[in-house]
Amino acid sequence: MPPTPTAETSIASPLDRLPDFDLADRGCPRRTRTQIDLTLLAIEALNLKGTHDILSLTQQLDLTRIIPNRVVLWRVRNTNPLRRLNRRRAMTIDEAKALTIIACHIARRLNLVIRQLLAEAVKLRDRGKPYSDNPHLARYLERFRVHFRSRMNPRRAAIMLYETDDKLDDLAIDLLSKLLFCTGTSGLQRFWVSLFNGEIS
Amino acid sequence: MSVRRKYSLPGCTLILEGVTTETGGRRPTISAVVNAECHLLGHSQILAGGQGFLQQLTETLSAYTQSLLSGIVPVIPEGHITIEPLPPLQHRLTITDPGLEAPVSLDLSTLQLFDLLESLDQMLADARTLPGWSLDLKPLTRHQARLDPPIAERATPAAIGLSSLAVAAVALFFLPIPEVRRPSEPIPVSAEEQAQTTTPDEAAGSAPPTDLAAETTNASKTGDRPDAKRDQASGQTVQADPKKPKVPQASSDKPKSSTETKAKSPTAETSSTTKPAIISDSDQLYALSLKLDQDLSANWNTDQAPTGDREYRVSVGQDGAIIGYIGRSEGAESYVDSTPLPDLLYVPTEAGSAKVEAQADFRVVFADSGTIEVSPWDGYAKTPSTPPSLTDAPTVTQSLDDLSTTLYDKFKDDPSFDRSLAYRLGVTAEGTLAQVEPLTADARSFYGETPLPDLYDPAAAIAVTDDRVTLMPLVEFRVVFQPNGVIEIAPWYGMQ
């Protein structure tokens, strides 16, 4: 049987598409960990099957070596220092890569939804109306608020900033814009690089 | 041979006219771009220019987007294209070109910005368009990012810098006549002079924020400076609809609006308008140090702590919130993540609106042994007075009753220690055990055997009223746990 091109791609790990950074054994910086987790949180608010999709993508994208199951996923996400159940364990660069690839992959699938929601948000803002006037947007924002409040540690100063619904809605919209940029042709690389902006020596 | 190529997205169409050396073929490779046009939906202007313009536009937008994603202020390549956020959800792209009568500026929504960048990204990814050119995506280094740290972090060095400046100023002024207080007149003057005469140690904390603020303001203006060496091809930027008067007008405001945005940053605000008073009252310092100690202890996880002591200078507002910190020992900065400081840092909800009325600086040492030492940076002016004590008979009786019930409830009948353990306990009027002081070495060693650890809530000793940290008045008792299961409880000051 002639060698198929897929054989070659399966040897090259998807992780190789992203550059490594020297983290000096300390794992990923806190902003990286927070940003990845919040991005996944926004995806879960957009997509009811979010967690399920994340796990099934680990298999599709050949990332089970890094994220073998739900428990590991949960542990890695809990390296976000703002979580209630924050694990003060390090997030390895491979774990960060895997989650970034998954997040961008799902974001790309959700591109249309993200565009529509952002367009609605701009329209409502321009007219001086609340986001809740659009049922789709309202549903996303509400789900995001619920996820955020149930998982983040309200005693952290960084979380206290989002005490009000309005502040949390602004965060959710901001994450939506970020997700949009993840969907682009160079979205994955740009998002990955941005996670380490100002963190490397 | 000339080739025309189009990249279409819902909000933007990029049209390239280029030359190719190939003949024939369905899709010849464009080796040089002669003219590029970006048509943005909803805008009558067309962004147009040569290859130099195209490259600069791509690099600027890419750097800007990277900063949007990360929150770190971008390092925009020097040139005639600038872009800045126009909250909420908008971005102002400005093109200042010597060939243009007035700068052109376009307000883009996030969707339009995405489409514009995506059309450029698609062009870059296209192997048949300018194959030799690719975008080098890489993170900014710490050094680059430090030129202009994100808004949240920007408040930190400013607060620290300012406090050390003010402390030095106050200290110098008071040296000759320490007892006399003449707060208002000399401080602003000496603070300014002090900026030049600070010791290297002080300068490390104070000088950089001010210098950098000035530097970055300059940097932000470089985009407006005409640059003679500019690529000729890029000079072709045209304004397709010159009769639209609104845009030049709006764009002429641009330098102003840019400085306005800068002025809103906490750095500028803090350094120009607010001058927090330094808390020198020993009692308040003591209360603040207790609160700081508790906040840090409650949130410190020693698992990740590296070896060695780390010392920080921490600025705290009068309500006990941490408003800034800076590492003072070797490695302290790089290991700051292993301390709870970043998590506890108070970040103003609205940039620049946080008014720090008074602040105090503390020396905080995260010791190798797993303990945290907190002491006022400049020490106490006098010994802090003992915390207020409740001694009126009805309160003491009630508390005695409550404490006795609680302790007996929790105390096991067959304790594992064989000697008496004496403690001085402080209880709030509500009955919460807020202070524990072992009176003997045995009492310290066997603390874990008593019911005290379960009941001890140091946070109850501290109250924040009117944004000021104060100590709660406590009823104090002398409590002795006997090995036979008896607990002796007596009011510390006796019954009055």
Whether residue B338 is predicted with pLDDT greater than 80 in this model: the reply is no
The answer to whether the Cβ–Cβ distance between A197 and B10 falls below 8 Å is no
Q: Residue range A169-196: average pLDDT?
A: 94
Cα(B14)–Cα(B109) distance, integer angstroms: 17
Residues B164 and B134 in one domain: no
The more confident residue out of A101 and B496 is A101
In a domain, A101, yes or no: yes
Task: Tell me whether residue A167 is in a domain.
Answer: yes
Say which residue, A91 or B190, is predicted with more confidence. Answer: A91
Domain that holds residue A141: 28-186
pLDDT of residue B252: 39
The answer to whether residue B382 is domain-embedded is no
Query: What one-letter code names the amino acid at B173?
Result: F
Cβ–Cβ gap B345/A121 under 8 Å:
no
In this structure, the answer to whether residues B347 and B487 fall within a common structural domain is no
Higher pLDDT, B99 or A150: A150
B72 and B93 part of one domain: yes
pLDDT of residue B89: 83
- B330 and B354 fall within a common domain: yes
Give the pLDDT of residue B178.
43
Which range (B104-108, B222-226, B448-452, B470-474) has the least confidence?
B222-226
B70 vs A82: CB contact, 8 Å cut-off? no
Confidence of residue A97 (pLDDT cuts 50, 70, 90): very high
Residues of chain B with C-beta less than 8 angstroms from the C-beta of A19? 138
Residue B161 has pLDDT above 80, yes or no: no
Bond prior to A19 in cis (omega within 30° of 0):
no
Query: Nearest Cα to B317, choosing from B282, B360, B351?
Result: B360
Tell me, yes or no, whether B31 lies in a domain: yes
Let me know whether B349 and B303 are in one domain: yes
Arithmetic mean of pLDDT, B33-50: 87
pLDDT above 70: residue B205: no
In a domain, B370, yes or no: yes
pLDDT tens, position by position, B236-267: 333 333 333 333 333 333 343 333 333 333 33
Give the one of A30, A81, A200 whose C-beta lies nearest to B142's C-beta. Answer: A200
pLDDT at residue A117, rounded to an integer: 95
Chain B touched by A178 (CB under 8 Å): yes
Per the structure, the complete domain to which residue B406 belongs is given by 393-491
Question: Does pLDDT of B221 surpass 50?
Answer: no
Which residue type does A199 have?
E
B30 and B128: one domain? yes
Region A134-144: mean pLDDT is: 94
Domain presence at residue A96: yes
The residue of chain A with its CA nearest to that of B149 is A198
For an interface test with B, give the residue of A22, A31, A129, A177 to mutate (most B CBs within 10 A).
A177
Q: What's the confidence (pLDDT) of residue B347?
A: 67
A71 domain-assigned: yes
- The token pair that represents B347 in the structure block: 């970040």
* Chain B nearest C-alpha distance from A186 (Å): 6
- Is B381 contained in some domain? no
By CB neighbour count within 10 A (0-12 exposed, 13-18 middle, 19+ buried), where does B334 fall? middle
Closest CA of chain B from A1, distance in Å: 31
B111–A118: do the CB atoms touch at under 8 Å? Answer: yes
Q: Is residue A34 part of a domain?
A: yes
Q: Are A94 and A66 in contact (CB under 8 A)?
A: yes
DSSP, residue by residue, A59-124: HHTT-TTT--SHHHHHHHHTTSTTBTT----PPPHHHHHHHHHHHHHHHHHTHHHHHHHHHHHHHH
Regarding whether B153 and B136 lie in a shared domain, the answer is no
Q: Work out the average pLDDT over A71-75.
A: 90
> Are B12 and B124 in the same domain?
yes
Q: Show the CA angle centred on residue A41, arms to residues A36 and A44, nearest 5°.
A: 130
**Residue entry with tokens 């006219």:** B17
A70 pLDDT above the threshold of 60: yes
Structure-block tokens of residue B70: 């990360």
Distance from CA of A182 to the nearest CA of B (A): 9
What is the share, in percent, of chain B residues with pLDDT greater than 70?
69
Domain-embedded: residue A62: yes
Decide if pLDDT at B441 tops 80: yes
> Are residues B311 and B336 located together in one domain of the fold?
yes
pLDDT (average), residues B292-308:
76
Going by C-alpha positions, the residue among A102, A86, A85, A83 that lies closest to residue A94 is: A102
**What band does B207 get if pLDDT is binned at 50, 70 and 90?**
very low
CB-based contact A118 B88, cutoff 8 Å: no
Amino acid (1-letter code) at residue B477: F
Q: Is residue B56 part of a domain?
A: yes
Q: Determine the Cα–Cα distance for residues A79 and B364; give it in Å rounded to an integer.
A: 25
> Quick one: B305 and B342 in the same domain?
yes
The count of structural domains within chain B is: 4
Tally of CB atoms within 10 A around A86:
17
Reported as a pLDDT band with limits 50, 70 and 90, residue B496 is: low
Residue A119 to chain B, least CA–CA distance (Å): 7
* Contact list, B137 vs chain A (CB under 8 Å): 186, 189-190, 193
Average pLDDT taken over every residue of chain B: 71
* Closest to B355 in 3D by CA, of B179, B206, B159: B159
Mean pLDDT of chain A: 87
Distance from CA of A194 to the nearest CA of B (A): 5
* Per-residue model confidence (pLDDT) at position B217: 39
Say if CB A119 and CB A137 are below 8 A apart. no
Residue B440 CB coordination number (10 Å): 14
DSSP alpha helix (H) spans, B411-469: 441-445, 452-455
Q: What CA–CA distance (Å, rounded) separates B354 from B490?
A: 47
Q: State how many domains chain A has.
A: 1
Q: Of A181, A111, A124, A117, which is closest to residue A143 (Cα–Cα)?
A: A117
8 A C-beta contact, residue B100 and residue B239: yes
Give yes or no: residues B353 and B418 share one domain: no
Q: How far apart are CA B290 and CA B375, in angstroms?
A: 9
Looking only at the bridges linking them, the beta strands covering B104-109 and B90-95 are antiparallel
* pLDDT category of residue B348 using cuts at 50, 70 and 90: low
- B138 neighbourhood in chain A, CB within 8 Å: 19, 193
- Same-domain status, B34 and B83: yes
Q: Which of B314, B349, B376 is the last residue of a domain?
A: B376
Query: Is residue A16 situated within a structural domain?
Result: no
Task: Tell me whether residue B386 is in a domain.
Answer: no
> For residue B383, is it within any domain?
no
Question: In whole angstroms, what is the distance from residue A30 CA to residue B345 CA?
Answer: 14
The pLDDT of residue A46 is: 92
Given a cut of 50, whether residue B133 has pLDDT beyond it is yes
Q: Is residue A76 part of a domain?
A: yes
Nearest chain B Cα to A19, which residue? B138
The verdict on residue B327 lying in a domain is yes
Which chain B residue's Cα is nearest to A30?
A: B337
The string of pLDDT tens digits covering residues B406-440 is 888 877 666 777 888 889 888 888 888 888 888 88
CA distance A174 to B312: 33
